Structure 1
Amino acid sequence: MVEEPADNPYVRDPDTSFAPVDDLDAATAREQARRLRAAIEYHNYRYYVANDPVIADRTYDALFDRLDDLEAAFDLDDEHSPTRRVGGAPLDELETVEHVAPLLSLQSSGDAAEIREFDRRIREAVGDVTYSAEPKFDGFSVEVVYEDGVFDRAVTRGDGEEGEDVSANLRTVGSVPLRLRDAPDFLAVRGEVYMPRSGFQTLNQRRIERGDDPFANPRNAAAGTVRLLDPSTVADRPLDVFFYDVIETSATITSQREAFDLLRELGFRVNDETTLVEDVEAVLDYRDRLMAAREDLEYEIDGVVAKVDDVGKREQLGSTARHPRWAFAYKFPARTGETTVERIVVQVGRTGKLTPVALLDPVDLQGVTISRATLHNAAQIRDLGVHAGATVRVERAGDVIPEVSEVVADDENDSESFAMPETCPVCDGPVAREGEHHYCTNASCPAQLRRRLQHFCSRDAMDIEGVGEAAADRLVEAGLVESLADLYTLDVDDLAALDGWGERSAANLRDELAASEGADLGSFLYALGIRHVGTERARALAAAFDLSDLKNANAEDLQAVEDVGPEVAEAVTAFFESPANVETVDRLAEAVGPESPADEGGDELDGLTLVFTGSLPGYTRSELSNLLETHGANVTSSVSGATDYLVVGENPGQRKREQADAEDVETLDPAAFEERILSRL
Structure 2
Amino acid sequence: MEKNKKIQQLREEILSHDEKYYKGESEIPDELHDFKVRKLKILEGTNTGVGHVSSERKNFKMRHEYPMLSLNNAFNEEELFSIFFNAHKKILGIESVNTPIEYFVEPKIDGVSVSLHYRYGQLVKAISRGDGQFGEDWTNQISHIMEIPKRVPMTEEFYVRGEIFVSKCNFRKIQSSTKEGEKSFINSRSYVSGALRLKDSAKIGEKLLSFISYQVLFIDGNKFKTQSESIEFLRKSGFPTHQSQYSLKSSQLHEILNFLSKFGEKRKDWEIPNDGLVLKVNELTLHPTIGSTSKFPKWAIAYKYPSLIKETILERIEATVGRSGRITYIGKLSPIYIDGSWIKWVTLHNYENVKMLKLHEGIVVQVYKSGEIIPRVISATPKFDKAFPIISHCPSCQSKLIFREGEKLQYCVNDNCERQKICKIIYFCSKKGVNVEGLSEQIITKLYSSKIINTLIDIFYLNKRKQELFKLTTLNIREKSFQNLMHSIEKSIKAPPEKILCGLGIDYIGITVSRLLLKKFSSIDNIFNSSLEEKINIEGIGPKSAKSIQDWLQNHENQLLIYELKKIGFNFSVGIAESVKVDVNHFLFGKTAVITGTFSISREKIKQALAIKYELQFRDSISKNVDFLLVGANAGSKVQQAHQHNIEILNLQEVESIISSLD
TM-score, normalization by structure 1: 0.38
Which structure has the greater CA radius of gyration?
Answer: 1
TM-score, normalization by structure 2: 0.39
